[in-house]
Amino acid sequence: MARAITQERVAATVAAETSASLDPSDWGQFREIAHGLLDDMIAHIETIRQRPVWQRPSDEARERFARPLPNRPRDLGDVLDDVRTHIMPFATGNLHPLFMGWVHGAGTPIGMVAEIVAGGLNMNCGGRDHAGLVVEQQIVRWMSEALGYPCGASGLFLTGSSMANFVAVTIAKTEALGQSVRETGLRNCDRQLVAYTSAEAHSCIAQAMQLSGIGSANLRTVAVDDAGRMLPGALRDAIGQDRAKGLLPFLVVGTAGTVNTGAIDPLAEIAEIASREKLWFHVDGAIGALAVLSDSLRDLFAGIESSASVALDFHKWGQVPYDAGFLLVRDGDAQKRTFAQPAAYLQRGDRGLAAGETWPCDLGPDLSRGFRALKTWMTIEALGTDRIGGSIAHTCMLARHLAEALERHPAFQLKAPVALNIVCFGIRGADSEFTRNLVLDLQESGLAAPSWTTLDGELVVRCAIVNHRTTEADIDGFLDTLDRYLADRRFLPPGDRRSSS
Ligand SMILES: *Cc1c(COP(=O)(O)O)cnc(C)c1O
């Protein structure tokens, strides 16, 4: 009798354990369903050209995601059918060669496979002694090599350059005021910190000043030249004026590839000023820094090797799937001084799983973090920097091709020099309403997805060519689409005698 009860208990426990696990009960069936989805995703990327660049999520899709929290399991095949029907057709569009709206990378199938591995291994890359940290360190050394940094530099994957810029501002603040500022906060500081960036800098720099507690009112926006590059003389003057007022200049942020036009600040001159004035020189290289992988573009970034830190995005020109932002810091100890926090549960061992002196959680605000290094490593390892650099240079060539064609065209007018891969243009004789509608109509047509920006107070069409899939034929097709758009509306630019009928 007692024996029977024990056996019953064991059986009940086993049953409970089986149902408590979230693994599939039938691995064979799971494998088949998962392989089917992988095949569909590969086909989706392979045939991306045949679909609209973008379409608005359907009402049906929106309704599908307005349901209450489910408490019962559902067949995985059905769930994946929802993914196929209600998600895959309504993606951002950045895989498509005619997505040019924003600076978005297109990803690669290699990166997708890496995400399967990263998701499967489910590593926490905040710390401890495992391969995730080893791979991340490989990327730190590779980026040090590519950007001309010394060994001893430290680096960290973050969501994107917005976070990387914020972390850099925080390090610069801590270095300027000393580690005690981490405890006392800014109120005990007797002089007001001031930072400098160009008028064309990304808005996340101002936000980083806000988040760091310094305040964006203490960020000077230095004037730029006609090509959108910071004027070193204006930077020098601004620093001088602030010093005369008794303020404490501590940081200058240069941009390697501005978001509006792709302009590159004169990095070498800024580095020299920063060195003389003892400021932290941070480079926002979200768009441009990876162009150092191209032999033909590298020289445009001269001076980046003299910076104190660089933020960059592998998910833009590096074509690594989202998200993969990165920060490289010349003085690794400075990064650690800003972020390392003693905690009993994070004590290090001299061996075992808790080994390792510096963990990623000592270098930034994240503790738990995924394995972003893997998709980056696999992309670079499988493609090599020559191919990645080549695709970056190719997008710049396409931008020049587009710019030249627009300049030859009577209806269009270039609105900014093309420094890298971003082309801003206007339509002669059109008001901002017409320009706005053109952008929106093209996006909704699914034929192309440009965006807009404002330059000198004027709304202009903006094409950022980031996609490694985009070809010259795509650009020519885009020009035809623009022509047809104007012809359909019988739009004639001033002075053009051609008939549009
Ligand atoms: C995209 C971009 C950012 C922000 O980077 P995220 O990865 O989107 O956070 C910052 N600066 C510049 C110049 C950018 O183009």
Q: How far apart are CA 98 and CA 464, in angstroms?
A: 10
- 264 phi, psi to nearest 5 deg: -115, 120
Local structure of 384: helix, strand or coil: helix
Predicted pLDDT of residue 345: 86
* CB-side neighbour CA atoms (13 Å) of 492: 9
Q: How far apart are CA 136 and CA 372, in angstroms?
A: 8
> Residue 483 in contact with residue 472, Cβ under 8 Å?
no
CA torsion 417-229-162-89 (nearest 10°) is 0
CB of 287 closer than 6 A to ligand 1?
A: yes
CB of 202 closer than 6 A to ligand 1?
A: yes
Predicted pLDDT of residue 9: 67
Predicted pLDDT of residue 235: 98
- Please identify, in words, the CATH class of the domain defined by 139-330: alpha beta
CA-nearest residue, atom 7 of ligand 1: 160
**First-to-last C-alpha distance (Å) of the chain:** 97
- Taking Cα atoms as reference points, which of 92, 132, 100 lies closest to residue 361? 132
- Taking Cα atoms as reference points, which of 281, 267, 337, 334 lies closest to residue 309? 281
pLDDT means per 10 residues, the chain with 501 residues, are 60 62 96 98 98 97 97 96 97 98 97 98 97 98 98 96 98 96 90 97 98 98 97 98 98 97 97 98 98 98 98 98 98 97 89 95 98 98 98 98 97 96 96 97 98 96 98 98 95 66 42
Name the percent of the chain in helix, strand, coil, to the closest 5.
50, 15, 35
Ligand 1 mutation target, pool 157, 200, 284, 319, most atoms within 8 A of CB: 284
- The 3-state secondary structure of 400-467, one letter per residue: HHHHHHHHHCCCEEECCCCCCCEEEEEECCCCHHHHHHHHHHHHHHCCCECEEEEECCEEEEEEECCC
Sign of CA dihedral 135, 140, 144, 150: negative
Atom of ligand 1 nearest to the CA of 258: 13
> Residue 324 in contact with residue 376, Cβ under 8 Å?
yes
CB of 284 closer than 6 A to ligand 1?
A: yes
Q: How far apart are CA 220 and CA 251, in angstroms?
A: 10
368 CB burial (10 A radius; 0-12, 13-18, 19+): exposed
DSSP annotation string for 223-284 = -B-TTS-B-HHHHHHHHHHHHHTT-EEEEEEEEBS-TTT--B--HHHHHHHHHHHT-EEEEE
Predicted pLDDT of residue 492: 82
Q: How far apart are CA 418 and CA 416, in angstroms?
A: 6
* Residue 103 CA to ligand 1 centre (angstroms): 8
Strands lying side by side in the sheet with 422-427: 412-414, 422-427, 458-464, 451-455
Ligand 1 mutation target, pool 156, 162, 258, most atoms within 8 A of CB: 162
Domain ranges of the chain: 23-52+55-91, 139-330, 390-488
- Taking Cα atoms as reference points, which of 176, 351, 354 lies closest to residue 277? 176
DSSP annotation string for 269-294 = HHHHHHHHHT-EEEEEETTTGGGGGS
Q: How far apart are CA 282 and CA 271, in angstroms?
A: 9
Q: How far apart are CA 196 and CA 370, in angstroms?
A: 33
Ligand 1 mutation target, pool 159, 267, 283, 287, most atoms within 8 A of CB: 287
* Residue 298 CA to ligand 1 centre (angstroms): 20
The one-letter amino acid at 483: D
Q: How far apart are CA 362 and CA 367, in angstroms?
A: 8
Residues in the chain: 501
> Residue 288 in contact with residue 257, Cβ under 8 Å?
yes
* CB-side neighbour CA atoms (13 Å) of 241: 10
Domains 139-330 and 390-488 share a fold: no
The one-letter amino acid at 361: C
Strands (E), 95-158: 154-158
- Taking Cα atoms as reference points, which of 405, 494, 413, 410 lies closest to residue 460? 413
Atom of ligand 1 nearest to the CA of 160: 7
How far does Cα 439 stand from its chain's mean position?
Answer: 23
CB of 153 closer than 6 A to ligand 1?
A: no
Predicted pLDDT of residue 6: 65
> Residue 160 in contact with residue 323, Cβ under 8 Å?
yes
Q: Is 278 left (phi over 0), alpha (psi -120 to 50) or beta?
A: left
Predicted pLDDT of residue 501: 42
Helix (H) or strand (E) holding 29: helix 27-46
- Please identify, in words, the CATH class of the domain defined by 390-488: alpha beta
CB of 204 closer than 6 A to ligand 1?
A: yes
